[in-house]
């Protein structure tokens, strides 16, 4: 029988921030955690990563607002706090890890920064591209005759930052099961991105990656059988025929078998010739026609699909699912398809397990979930602590919630 998501019962307090912090909070919420976002009263609903969260606006300039958060952290009690700020921000508010762990020793205090907290650039502002630059990872990306090219902000903000922070949080929760103690979790986008680049970094000491950027087998520019090609309808296919047997399948599909390329492909001096030949062949047919040739083969050829196609074409694998499947305790669903809550008595267990449980969300994982400041906060405070507005907390100034004075025990 499919059970509750794995983080059911875990309470998370997420301070409003950009990109990695909200992504970490959304990931925990999708895995079953109860996530309350702490906003300022004048924050815009800028967070597109607010799925399954609630919000509360707190006046952080009023000591009673700080008291509210401390009371909440200690009494709920909160399992995980997500700090997305530059070093020192929460410490100056009296909400640093030393004070909060003394107040609540089982707290997992999770912090994510761009640069290293103790590094040369710690006091500087930055964004994904800057963190990738100093991590070394950016030096690996892009064609050889142009500047390095970051992959939108996927690698730094979300992989090196948010996803790495979640990994640290889960490890800290696991360690807490043994020690009964929480701890500080530190993540930063420099170290996270650098760790993700372990393989290509180490490959620089081998023939697989010892050439300049864009001229190695895996940088998808220099190698003829590991890159993208344009088709007759101005779409693209990916080619990844690294192994000789897959390369032979590719040649057969392109009608180039028996011309000596099976033996000559290792001659890098002929790579430009082979690239031009492949490009000419792929431009001769539409992407759909090439799919008809290569689907079901081991040629390692697949289409480049955009999200409009994935969303609208039921033949494609565009239903958004959790990043990993837990068969017995799956994440909540994103796609509102068959299987899961509301699917009817005929829903198959495999559908529920593959797609997560629950009825999915509006937008199917393609549209942002904008969370208004204060949305759902009263309900969550009531569920967690039995608190009521006007009895335990108030917004007397219009700048956010504060603890009512006679409730301010901390």
The answer to whether 380 and 37 are in contact (CB under 8 A) is: no
Active site residue 191: no
Tokens at residue 111, please? Answer: 């912090």
**Neighbour-count burial for 171-201, b at 16+ CB within 10 Å, e otherwise:** ebbeebeeeeebbbbbbbbbbbbbebbeebb
* DSSP designation for 115: S
Residue 77 to residue 176: CA distance in whole angstroms: 14
What separation in angstroms does the CA of 275 have from each of 26, 58, 251, 304, 340? 42, 59, 12, 18, 47
Cα dihedral 327, 195, 29, 128, rounded to 10, equals -140
Name the H helices within 300-376: 307-312, 349-355
The sheet carrying 226-230 orders its strands as 226-230, 236-240, 301-303
Catalytic residue among 43, 47, 157, 354: 157
The answer to whether 10 and 23 are in contact (CB under 8 A) is: no
Residue 17 to residue 41: CA distance in whole angstroms: 14
N-term to C-term CA, the chain: 44
What's the longest Cα–Cα distance across the chain?
87
The answer to whether 262 and 214 are in contact (CB under 8 A) is: no
Name the H helices within 356-402: 377-385
Tokens at residue 74, please? Answer: 């200690």
Residue 156 to residue 18: CA distance in whole angstroms: 13
Residue 322 to residue 326: CA distance in whole angstroms: 9
Residue listed under structure tokens 């990109």: 19
Residue 82 to residue 67: CA distance in whole angstroms: 18
Beta bridge partners of 81: 13, 109
User: Annotated catalytic sites, by residue?
Assistant: 157
């Amino acid at each position: 029988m499919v059970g509750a998501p794995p983080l059911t019962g875990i309470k998370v307090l997420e301070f409003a921030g950009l990109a990695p912090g909200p992504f970490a909070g959304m990931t925990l919420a999708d895995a079953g955690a109860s996530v309350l976002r702490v906003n300022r009263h004048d924050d815009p609903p800028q967070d597109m990563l607010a799925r399954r969260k609630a919000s509360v606006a707190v006046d952080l300039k009023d000591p009673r607002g700080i008291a509210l958060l401390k009371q909440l952290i200690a009494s709920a009690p909160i399992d995980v706090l997500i700090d997305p700020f530059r070093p020192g921000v929460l410490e100056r508010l009296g909400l640093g890890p030393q004070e909060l762990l003394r107040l609540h020793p089982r707290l997992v205090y999770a912090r994510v920064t761009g640069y290293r907290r103790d590094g040369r650039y710690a006091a500087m502002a930055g964004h994904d591209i800057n963190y990738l630059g100093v991590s070394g990872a950016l030096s690996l990306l892009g064609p050889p005759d142009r500047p390095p090219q970051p992959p939108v902000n996927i690698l730094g903000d979300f992989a090196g930052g948010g996803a790495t922070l979640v990994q640290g949080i889960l490890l800290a929760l696991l360690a807490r099961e043994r020690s009964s103690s929480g701890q500080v979790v530190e993540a930063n986008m420099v170290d996270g991105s650098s760790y993700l680049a372990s393989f290509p970094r180490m490959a620089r000491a081998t023939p697989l990656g010892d050439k300049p950027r864009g001229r190695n087998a895996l940088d998808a520019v220099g190698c003829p059988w590991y890159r993208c090609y344009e088709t007759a309808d101005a779409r693209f296919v990916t080619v990844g025929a690294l192994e000789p047997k897959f390369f032979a399948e590719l040649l057969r599909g392109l009608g180039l078998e028996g011309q000596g390329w099976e033996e000559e492909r290792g001659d890098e001096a002929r790579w430009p010739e082979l690239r031009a030949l492949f490009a000419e062949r792929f431009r001769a047919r539409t992407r759909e026609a090439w799919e008809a040739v290569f689907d079901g083969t081991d040629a390692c050829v697949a289409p480049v699909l955009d999200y409009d196609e994935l969303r609208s074409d039921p033949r494609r694998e565009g239903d958004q699912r959790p990043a990993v499947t837990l068969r017995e305790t799956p994440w909540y669903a994103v796609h509102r398809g068959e299987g899961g809550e509301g699917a009817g008595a005929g829903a198959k267990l495999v559908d529920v397990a593959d797609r997560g449980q629950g009825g999915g969300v509006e937008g199917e994982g393609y549209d942002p979930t904008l969370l208004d400041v204060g949305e759902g906060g009263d309900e969550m405070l009531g569920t967690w602590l039995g608190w009521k507005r006007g009895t335990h907390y108030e917004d007397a100034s219009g700048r956010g919630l504060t603890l009512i004075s006679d409730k301010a025990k901390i």
